[in-house]
């Protein structure tokens, strides 16, 4: 043992330098390891390597280039991940070395194993030509490893550039041909590097279509459209404004729905075209002109009525699906109403009169755009005097904190503009504020999104798996969500996956669904909610209807929220959506008269106006909602403290 010492005294600078070197016996390499496995394997194949060694935290086994320094390594797995260790062989043929690295500085290597990776090829058999947009069946031979794929690509494209594709999990693979005619190549790509190991030529031929529809129809109804064309998956017919770009479309129906297809007519009169669009490029193959004629309507009823009574209203009009007669404050927006009844119930209609005295209007409303087709004045005189309930958190009340899952609609309708912004942009900003300012950091959180990955698809993806909320990470994920044109709306499928998404979560679960449209994937959201609630999970489902046009759809969303023991909130613009997001994480309640829900709200929120009488306030929190008796007195606000 050699010793060199350095002596100093406090406050003194001493030039003498002494180095202490202590040598201990060692059995370096400290802890030997060994590796065993095949000497040869095909590119991209599963590879299993058995090992012996310390297996310490941070030790890893990697596939490296021969002669590479210890701190330069390729694909790796930690030794603590199991024995044997499993890899996917490199997708580039050549000689490699498997190495066992210690976690010590420099990642020293204590064992090696030589490996040769051999090349393989795939053969592809496909028809020499196919119509644009049609399905192509490709038979292949090759390795068929997970995530390998076959695509239809431009001639001369780089390996990483690909077009329509299908996974090579089974042979034959089915792929939708490009919409544009021309020369292409069908190629087999490896999963990781996209390296091409086989190809075959393909010619895509041009296609055309014809459309037959009525020349003129009333606004808001339905028409049948007969068509001839390729009928490829995802092709559709739509009623579009004259001169609109091919990528813009209005009400539509997929050709897969049959021939003829039924399409709802716009409620705005004017000149339109019925057009046949291809699925991918949205190119128009054929069109027919359509004139939408304006509708007229009348409403008549008493000119005065006492508050809280009911009146009979006679009407004439188109009686299209969802049309209704409403009583609203004079001069109110066409989106507002106090009471209403659907025209499908016949004429005359019995309509409830609002409680508050004042000047009102009786209106005939269309079911989609809520356009006003006819009005008649109504003076509401003092009758029943309304009272109010204010539901507040009582002393010692606590809000149970549990997991939260947000389900966001990013389907094609979310690309529509509202005050100069696309709906998806407004929704992203509101959701960013929710995770960034409202939901506490580290709350168990998950985000599921549908409509943002594939056109003409019912795909739904868990974008943020259940984990403690990381505000920065969640914000980044939300910012990356883009709506997809013509993507569908799988609300039921998304709700059915909630239990799987939140497996392992403890305590109450809150689901917040944000959508601007109805289910379009043949699912049953009500049944999905019932299944979720009956599965022994303590769950509440809140629904936000964003930019909802149809009055009937609003009622449907309300029924989903009611079935989910939650709250329905409607939002028509950016501020309302931000407020709605914040409300949905509060504790909701409903007010019942007998077994009928007559009002809803959130604890510590706005007071609710009611007729005088006896009610029950049901707080929707926990597996057994708490109920409180409440008496409403005309002209008074009663406070109901809840725990």
Q: How many domains does the chain divide into?
A: 5
Quick check: 123 and 150 in contact, CB under 8 A?
no
Domain for residue 9, yes or no?
no
Domain match, 413 and 557 both? yes
* Spatial distance between the Cα atoms of 520 and 491, rounded to a whole number of angstroms: 8
- Closest-CA residue to 374 (of 359, 382, 364, 361): 364
User: Considering 205, 225, 245, which residue would you say is the last residue of a domain?
Assistant: 205
Is 65 in the same domain as 179? Answer: no
Find how far residue 521's CA is from the centre of its chain: 13
**CA–CA distance, 425 with 479 (Å, rounded to integer):** 9
* 562 and 433 within one domain: yes
Q: Quick one: 239 and 317 in the same domain?
A: no
Q: Quick one: tokens of 327? A: 């009583």
CATH code: domain of residue 460: 3.40.50.410
Q: Which of 142, 173, 205 is the last residue of a domain?
A: 205
| Residue 15 forms part of a structural domain | no
CATH number at residue 66: 2.60.40.1930
Whether 458 and 576 share a structural domain: yes
> Do 200 and 263 fall within a single domain?
no
Domain that holds residue 337: 298-384
Q: Cβ of 257: how many Cβ atoms within 10 Å?
A: 12
Same domain, 378 and 406: no
How would you class 75 by CB atoms within 10 Å of its CB: exposed for 0-12, middle for 13-18, buried for 19 or more?
middle
Per-residue pLDDT of 508-549, as tens digits, reads 899 999 999 899 898 999 999 999 988 877 889 999 999 988
Question: 81: which DSSP letter?
Answer: G
417 and 533 in one domain?
Answer: yes
List of residues 6+ apart from 538 with CB closer than 8 A: 402, 507, 508, 509, 622, 623
Q: Is the dihedral of CA 279, 282, 287, 289 positive or negative?
A: positive
Q: Flag whether 606 is in a domain.
A: no
Owner of token pair 């309304």: 386
Per-residue tokens: 89: 């062989």
Which pLDDT belongs to residue 398?
61
Question: What is the per-residue pLDDT across 150-189, written as a single tens digit (0 to 9) for each?
Answer: 999 999 999 999 998 988 888 899 998 999 999 999 999 9
For 203, the enclosing helix (H) or strand (E) is strand 196-205
Answer whether residue 434 is part of any domain.
yes
For the chain, which residues score pLDDT lower than 50? 1-30
Distance CA 624, CA 509 (A): 14
**598: in domain:** no
Q: Are residues 104 and 135 in the same domain?
A: no
- According to the model, what pLDDT value does residue 506 have? 82
- Determine, yes or no, domain membership for 25: no
353: domain CATH number is 2.60.40.2840
> Which pLDDT belongs to residue 233?
84
Domain final residue pick, 85, 118, 151: 118
**378 and 426 both lie in a single domain:** no
Chain centre distance of CA 157: 33
- In angstroms, rounded to a whole number, what is the distance separating the alpha carbons of residues 399 and 393? 9
- Alpha-helix residue ranges (DSSP H) falling in 411-502: 423-433, 471-479, 491-496, 498-501
In a domain, residue 614? The reply is no
Q: How far is CA 545 from the centre of its chain?
A: 14
Closest by CA to 170, choosing from 140, 127, 204, 131, is 140
Report how far residue 89's alpha carbon sits from residue 169's, in angstroms, rounded to the nearest whole number.
18
Identify the helix (H) or strand (E) that includes residue 584.
helix 574-584
CA 570-573-577 angle, 5° bins: 55
Contact 28, 6 (CB under 8 A): no
Domain assignment of residue 6, yes or no: no
Same domain, 349 and 407: no
Question: Is 469 found in the same domain as 555?
Answer: yes
The pLDDT value recorded for residue 25 is 39
Q: What is the pLDDT of residues 227-260, one digit of tens each?
A: 999 999 889 999 999 999 998 899 999 999 999 9
Q: How does DSSP assign 130-152, residue by residue?
A: EETT-EEEEEEES---TT-EEEE
């Amino acid at each position: 043992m050699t010793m060199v010492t350095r002596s100093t005294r406090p406050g003194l600078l001493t030039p003498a330098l002494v180095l202490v070197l202590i040598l201990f016996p060692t059995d370096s390499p400290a802890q030997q390891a060994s590796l065993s496995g095949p000497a040869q394997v095909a590119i991209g194949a599963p590879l299993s390597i058995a090992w012996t060694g310390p297996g310490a935290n941070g030790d890893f086994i990697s596939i490296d280039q021969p002669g590479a320094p210890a701190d330069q390594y390729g694909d790796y797995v930690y030794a603590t991940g199991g024995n044997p260790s499993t890899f996917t062989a490199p997708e580039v043929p050549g000689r490699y070395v498997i190495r066992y690295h210690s976690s010590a500085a420099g990642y020293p290597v204590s064992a090696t194993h030589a490996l040769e990776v051999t090349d393989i090829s795939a053969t592809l058999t496909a028809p020499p030509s196919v119509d644009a947009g049609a399905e192509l069946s490709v038979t292949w031979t090759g390795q068929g490893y997970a995530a390998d794929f076959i695509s239809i690509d431009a001639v001369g494209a780089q390996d990483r550039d690909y077009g329509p594709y299908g996974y090579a999990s089974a042979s034959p693979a089915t792929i939708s041909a490009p919409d544009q005619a021309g020369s292409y190549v069908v190629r087999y790509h490896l999963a990781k590097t996209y390296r091409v190991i086989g190809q075959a030529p393909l010619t895509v031929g041009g296609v055309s279509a014809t459309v037959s529809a009525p020349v003129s129809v009333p606004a808001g109804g339905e028409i049948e459209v007969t068509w001839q064309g390729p009928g490829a998956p995802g092709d559709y017919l739509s009623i579009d404004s004259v001169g609109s770009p091919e990528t813009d479309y209005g009400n539509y129906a997929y050709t897969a729905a049959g021939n003829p297809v039924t399409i709802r007519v716009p409620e705005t009169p004017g000149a339109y075209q019925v057009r046949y669009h291809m699925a991918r490029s949205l190119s128009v193959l054929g069109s027919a002109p359509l004139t939408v004629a304006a509708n007229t309507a009348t409403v008549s009823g008493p000119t005065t009525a006492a508050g809280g009574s009911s009146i009979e209203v006679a009407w004439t009009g188109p009686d299209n699906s969802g049309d209704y007669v409403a009583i609203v404050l004079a001069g109110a927006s066409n989106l507002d109403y106090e009471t209403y009844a659907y025209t499908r119930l016949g004429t005359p209609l019995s309509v409830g009169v609002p409680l508050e005295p004042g000047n009102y209007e009786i209106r005939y409303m269309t079911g989609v755009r809520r356009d006003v087709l006819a009005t008649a004045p109504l003076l509401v005189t003092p009758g029943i005097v309304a009272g109010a309930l204010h539901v507040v958190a009582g002393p010692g009340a606590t809000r149970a904190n549990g997991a939260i899952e947000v389900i966001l609609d990013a389907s094609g309708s979310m690309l529509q503009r509202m005050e100069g912004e696309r709906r998806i942009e407004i929704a992203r900003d509101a959701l960013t504020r929710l995770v960034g300012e409202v939901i506490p950091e580290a709350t168990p959180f998950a985000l599921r999104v549908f409509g943002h990955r594939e056109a003409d698809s019912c795909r739904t993806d868990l974008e943020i798996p259940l984990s403690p909320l990381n505000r920065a990470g969640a914000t980044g994920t939300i910012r990356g969500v883009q709506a997809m044109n013509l993507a569908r709306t799988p609300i039921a499928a998304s709700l059915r996956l909630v239990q799987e998404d939140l497996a392992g979560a403890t305590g109450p679960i809150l689901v917040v669904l944000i959508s601007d449209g109805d289910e379009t994937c043949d699912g049953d959201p009500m049944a999905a909610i019932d299944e979720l609630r009956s599965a022994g999970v303590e769950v509440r489902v809140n629904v936000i209807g964003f930019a909802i046009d149809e009055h009937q759809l609003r009622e449907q969303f309300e029924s989903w929220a009611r079935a989910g023991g939650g709250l329905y909130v409607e939002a028509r613009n950016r501020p309302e959506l931000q407020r709605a997001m914040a409300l949905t994480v509060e504790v909701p309640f409903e007010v019942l008269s007998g077994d009928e829900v007559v009002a809803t709200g959130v604890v510590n929120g706005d007071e609710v106006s009611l007729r005088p009488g006896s009610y029950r306030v049901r707080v929707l929190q926990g597996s057994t909602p708490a109920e409180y008796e409440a008496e409403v007195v005309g002209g008074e606000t009663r406070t109901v403290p809840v725990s």
